[in-house]
Amino acid sequence: MTTAIASRYAAEYQTIAPTLCGQSLPWLQQLRTEALTQFSVQGFPSPRAEEWRYTNVSAIEKKLFSPSIIGQPQGIATTELLSTYQLPDAWSLVLVNGHFCEELSVLDGLPETVSVMSMADAVETQNSASLLETHLGQAIDNAEHGFVAFNTAWFTDGLFVHVPAKLVLEKPIQVLHIATQADVMAITRTVVIVDEMAGAKVIETFVGLDNAYLSAAVTEVSVGANANVTLYKMQCESEKAYHFGGVYVQQARNARFTHHNFAFGGLLARCDIHADLDIASECELNGLYLGVKRQHIDNHTRINHLKPHGISRELYKGVLDDRARGVFQGRVIVAEDAQKTDSQMNNRNLLLSNDAEADTKPQLEIYADDVKCGHGVTVGQLDEKSIFYLQSRCIDEETARNMLTFAFANEMVDKITIKSLHDKVLEQVLLRFPQEGVNKEWL
Amino acid sequence: MLSIKNLTVNVGDKPILKGINLEIKAGEIHAIMGPNGSGKSTLSHILSGKSGYTVTGGSVTYQGMDLLEMPPEIRAREGVFLAFQYPVEIPGVSNIYLLKAALNSIRKHHGQPEVDAMDFLTLVKGKVRLLEMDEKFLYRAVNEGFSGGEKKRNEILQMAILEPKLCILDETDSGLDIDALKVVAEGVNSLRSPERSFVMVTHYQRLLDYIKPDFVHVLAHGQIVKSGGAELALELEEKGYSWVEAA
């Protein structure tokens, strides 16, 4: 089946290839061709693969998703999504069905030396194209799994960011992915390059109309020496959608990278986050996944401590209701050379119904002998002692349950330092769990 | 205020309370003493409505109402307050929010409007000073990272703000050093009034040096085996529980 689907997409690729960006760049053409070959062999991941054992993607093979045509009308629906999700205090770049939409984007007032543009524009611009030649595909491994190669072969557009050395961006950059068509596939690639001692915050937002569609976005981040990058992902796809995301990060010496991953939407959503750490790099991965109905939300992280003195902190929390299923697989690899590594990984799951399920698998692979590494995992229900304590303080049981659930989730929301984004994410948390008695005052 | 008649309680198939009789009038302080496993904590849990126990017989009447029929939050709103032996940590919910939510639940229950924000702050800050607590505690998550003594003070702070009619103190002295014990006892004493009753469940006599009870009851093997005045506690301290257990 895998091969059949692969050849179907491969055949279709020939018709769409001439429309993909970067036609004039032989290195990119070569990259795409190799990726297509890789994908034709691999196909989409099978549950037989260890990294995919909890997540079966065969559902997407039953549908045929097609790339969207450039220049489709935007419509009222897009405007509504835009007014809900576009942040007022950020530079924002809007992609509709995988294509840059200039009239919806707001990029005024960027410092001259900073590049923020669509991927399609970046490959046609000399400076950015040469940066891309060295960076695009560097943080990923096409052989990792089918979706990575698929993305490299098919990406239509995306975001390109370059922040030169010693410049700290005053405002965040938002890339807003909007899917408006049924059965469309939006395949995008984002490359963020932040040079040494520079700083940037980038927000990736994924939203869509109430359709089945495929959203696949790979982001590569290069954090220069002593640079500081915070990446937020706010995944609010439609509840019929399929989302496959990947964030691949390379950190130079003393570089700091923080990721906040809010996975709320999608019928089937998967996100892979990989970070490679150099000497004394710091990496912080935070995640919150909220599953309702029959959602399946999978997050997969890998932190590679390659050099000494690295620090990593990871906390993923999940709240699963109805028949939802949450998957967390976290790997921390400490190379032989990575002495004095300090790493802590935690995954906490709250199950609100008997039919909800959490699969969690933390893995530590340590090849160095002088390290401090720990991990902890919990899967459970609300603590009855806490509920009784609140009841004994006049709070009725249902409100007590809601208070505790929200407090559990809110710990992750509270880590957001951008006010407008914080409020937006909080709004989404409240939407996902619209129970009575929830008061914003204590959130 | 509270009338317990021939109360029998099981945990699973095991009888824990085997016929408790107790009358508590408004304004009285009763101490329930007893060795470990005598059923002291079970009694305080039963009065506050904790699940996991089966009442197999008897009755508990609180201000004319059948207490055992009321869910825990209704008991609390009607003025029953349990100061926990082990106060629970509630990460993510601030102390001040819980206090306000609790106070407003009581007011709503009695058909009163919500408390004014400024009046509330004034009230809370006054009580915080009374208990020699740091105001910062108000904005921290409920009991999270509090020391044993801080948790107990926080219980008394809640009690001082919610102004219950029947206060049940479950092993309030455990985990308190002598200074903290004095502060907590002063807090409790300041709440004594002709309308308010206290049930103090304690293993040791030392708390009773600071909060003088009107009555002392000794619980052993699920029954009250001896009742008396404050002097009974001293006698117990001297002779040990074996003295009453054997009787």
Residues B2-24: tens digit of each pLDDT: 999 999 999 999 999 999 999 99
Q: Which residue has the higher pLDDT, A57 or A230?
A: A230
**What pLDDT is stored for residue A435 in this prediction?**
61
Q: Does A378 touch chain B (CB under 8 A)?
A: no
Q: Are B1 and B197 in contact (CB under 8 A)?
A: yes
Residue whose structure tokens are 């639940």: B105
d(CA B142, CA B120): 18
Query: What is the value of pTM for the model shown?
Result: 0.88
Average the pLDDT over each of A3-7, A251-255, A426-430, B65-69 and give the range with the smallest value: A3-7
Quote the DSSP letter at residue B155.
H
Integer Cα distance of B187 and B131 in angstroms: 6
Question: Two tokens at B121?
Answer: 């702050």
Across the range A75-85, mean pLDDT stands at 85
Instruction: State the Cα torsion A20-A22-A23-A26 to the nearest 10°.
Output: -130
Place of tokens 């009991």: B143
Q: Do B84 and A395 touch (CB under 8 A)?
A: no
Q: Name the residue range of residue B61's domain.
A: 2-246
Q: What is the mean pLDDT of residues A262-291?
A: 97
- Tell me, letter by letter, the H, E, C secondary structure of chain A: CHHHHHHHHHHHHHHHHHHCCCCCCHHHHHHHHHHHHHHHHHCCCCCCCHHHCCCCCHHHHCCCCEECCCCCCCHHHHHHHHHHHCCCCCEEEEEECCEECHHHCECCCCCCCCEEEEHHHHCCCHHHHHHHHHHCCCCCCCCCCHHHHHHHHHCCEEEEEEECCCCECCCCEEEEEEECCCCEEEEEEEEEEECCCCEEEEEEEEEECCCCCEEEEEEEEEECCCCEEEEEEEEECCCCCEEEEEEEEEECCCCEEEEEEEECCCCEEEEEEEEEECCCCEEEEEEEEEECCCCEEEEEEEEEECCCCCEEEEEEEEEECCCCEEEEEEEEEECCCCCCCEEEEEEEEEECCCCCEEEEEEEEEECCCCCEEEEEEEEECCCHHHHHHHHCCCCCHHHHHHHHHHHHHHHHHCCCCCHHHHHHHHHHHHHHCCCCCCCHHHC
pLDDT digits (tens, 9 = 90+) for A199-251: 999 999 999 999 999 999 999 999 999 999 999 999 999 999 999 999 999 99
Which of chain A's residues have a Cβ under 8 Å away from the Cβ of B114?
Answer: none
The yes-or-no verdict on residue A350 having pLDDT over 90 is yes
* pLDDT at residue B247 in the model: 52
> Which of B71, B72, B93 comes nearest A407 by C-beta?
B93
Chain centroid, CA A30 distance in Å? 26
pLDDT at A334 over 80: yes
Find the CB nearest A403 among B71, B87, B93.
Answer: B93
Which residue in chain A is spatially nearest to B44 when comparing CA positions? A392
Structure tokens, A174: 């938002």
pLDDT score at A272: 96
CB contact under 8 A, A442 and B88: no
Q: Is the pLDDT assigned to residue A280 strictly greater than 80?
A: yes
Residue A443 pLDDT greater than 50, yes or no: no
- pLDDT over 50 at A53, yes or no: yes
CB A5 within 8 A of CB A40: no
- Inter-chain contact B101–A394, Cβ cutoff 8 Å? yes
ipTM of the complex: 0.94
- Numbers of helices and strands, H then E, in chain B: 9, 12
Residue A79 contacts by C-beta under 8 Å, 6 or more apart in sequence?
A: none
Average pLDDT of chain A is 92
Residue A146 banded pLDDT, cuts 50, 70, 90: confident
At residue A44, the pLDDT reads: 86
pLDDT mean over A333-347: 97
Residue A412 C-alpha, separation from nearest chain B C-alpha, in angstroms:
10
Rounded to the nearest angstrom, the minimum Cα separation between A348 and chain B is: 14
Count of domains forming chain B: 1
pLDDT at A1 over 60: no
Chain A interface mutation, best of B90, B106, B157, B170, highest count of A Cβ atoms under 10 Å: B90
Percent of chain A with pLDDT over 90: 76
- Position A431 scores a pLDDT of 83
B109 neighbourhood in chain A, CB within 8 Å: 394
pLDDT in tens, A246-271: 999 999 999 999 999 999 999 999 99
A367 contacts chain B (CB < 8 A): no
B residues 37-56 near A, CB within 8 Å? 48-51
Residues of chain B with pLDDT under 70: 245-247
Please report, for the domain that includes residue B120, its CATH number: 3.40.50.300
- Does the distance separating the beta carbons of B76 and A392 come in below 8 Å? yes
Task: Identify which has the larger pLDDT, A53 or A110.
Answer: A110
